[in-house]
Amino acid sequence: MSEDLERRKFLSRLWKGGIAVMAGAAAWTSWDFLQPVAGQAGGPVTTVAPDVIPTDSVLEVDPMRGYLTEVNGEVVPLYWKCPHLGCKVPWCESSGQFECPCHGSVFNRIGEYRRGPAPRGMDKYEFEIIDGVVVPDTSKIIRGAPAGTPETIDEPPKGP
Ligand code: FES
């Protein structure tokens, strides 16, 4: 009888502990989801001159938490946070596209949505050219276009 009672107490505590863990996870997810989209650096970041920005690849710039690339003479400053659940999206040199390691979303060189669970393309920063240098403002985010929006560049994957 006492053993049965102990087991019941143990199972009750286990159940309550599981509920507490789930409540904590839900609270954390909600808090994270409600955070602003803006980069955490939160302001203008001095980077490089436009003429060193690649036109067939990307330049990773840690202080702006993103990448610079150029298409048709236009600088494109991308925020590296995946619009799905926020993982850092790395550039894949062999495929010539961004590939999120978390759930497989894929974006082209200028961050446009290709496939995967992300709801939109990668976000971009507003920027200025100041004294010949690209200065993205990481507090000013331009949301990526919704998934399914046609790509505006013709750059199919280069490989695996
Ligand atoms: Fe990038 Fe889920 S966080 S696909």
The CA-based dihedral angle spanning residues 50, 37, 143, 96, taken in that order and rounded to the nearest 10 degrees: 60
- Testing ligand 1's pocket by substitution, the residue of 33, 82, 92, 114 carrying the most ligand atoms inside 8 A of its CB is 82
Give residue 12's pLDDT: 81
Nearest CA to ligand 1 atom 3: 85
The DSSP element (H or E) to which 135 belongs, if any, is strand 133-142
In the numeric block, the tokens 């790509």 are attached to: 151
Q: Residue 39 has what pLDDT?
A: 43
Per the listing, tokens 């290709």 go with 114
- What's the pLDDT at 27? 65
Burial 94-123 (b: 16+ CB within 10 A, else e): eebbbbbeeeebbbbbbbbbbebebebbbb
| pLDDT computed for residue 3 by the predictor | 76
Residue owning the nearest CA to atom 4 of ligand 1: 103
Residue numbers in the chain where pLDDT is lower than 50: 33, 36-39, 41
Can you tell me the distance from the alpha carbon of 75 to that of 47, in angstroms, rounded to the nearest whole number? 12
Q: What is the pLDDT of residue 40?
A: 52
Residue having the nearest C-alpha atom to atom 2 of ligand 1: 103
Diameter of the chain measured on Cα atoms = 82
